[in-house]
């Protein structure tokens, strides 16, 4: 029994010399755990946030960064309504969009939108 406890203790404290078979087994177990564990077990799903809340501006307006892909196919006149529905779904409360500003790079390609909203 003490031999088993000694083995467990050495495994926990990683007390095996490099290039020994015990060391190789421990590395193999760790790699197996990393690559064979389903992502669902840890609810770790990569997802880029397409709507990001920015720090509040003076005057109580809240600013949100909107990814351009969310509004690509939407005509310019309907973008405000689409952003309002996106923010309502995200914040679980209705918001009023005061202004929607496109953010462009030096080549005038739209990189995103900033929506200014009031509750």
pLDDT digits (tens, 9 = 90+) for 39-65: 778 776 665 568 878 887 677 788 888
Neighbours of 83 (CB within 10 A): 22
Give residue 30's pLDDT: 92
Q: How far is it, in rounded angstroms, from Cα 6 to Cα 17? A: 15
C-alpha 71/C-alpha 80 separation (Å) is: 10
**Which stretch of DSSP H or E encloses residue 63?**
strand 62-66
Shortest CA distance to 98 belongs to which of 82, 110, 72, 116?
116
Q: What is the pLDDT of residues 85-104, one digit of tens each?
A: 888 888 888 888 988 999 89
Question: What is the C-alpha to C-alpha distance for residues 4 and 108, in angstroms, rounded to an integer?
Answer: 68
Q: 84 and 96 in contact (C-beta within 8 Å)?
A: yes
């Amino acid at each position: 029994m003490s031999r088993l406890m000694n083995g467990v203790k050495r495994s926990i404290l990683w007390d095996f010399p490099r290039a020994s078979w015990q060391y190789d087994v421990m590395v193999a177990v760790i790699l197996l755990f990393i690559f064979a564990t389903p992502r669902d077990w840890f609810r770790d799903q990569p997802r880029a946030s397409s709507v990001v809340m920015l720090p509040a501006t003076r005057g109580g307006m809240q600013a949100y960064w909107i990814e351009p892909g969310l509004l690509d196919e939407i005509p310019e006149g309907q973008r405000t309504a689409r952003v309002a529905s996106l923010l309502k779904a995200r914040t679980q409360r209705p918001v009023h969009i005061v202004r929607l500003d496109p953010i462009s790079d030096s080549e005038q390609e739209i990189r995103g939108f900033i929506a200014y909203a009031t509750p």
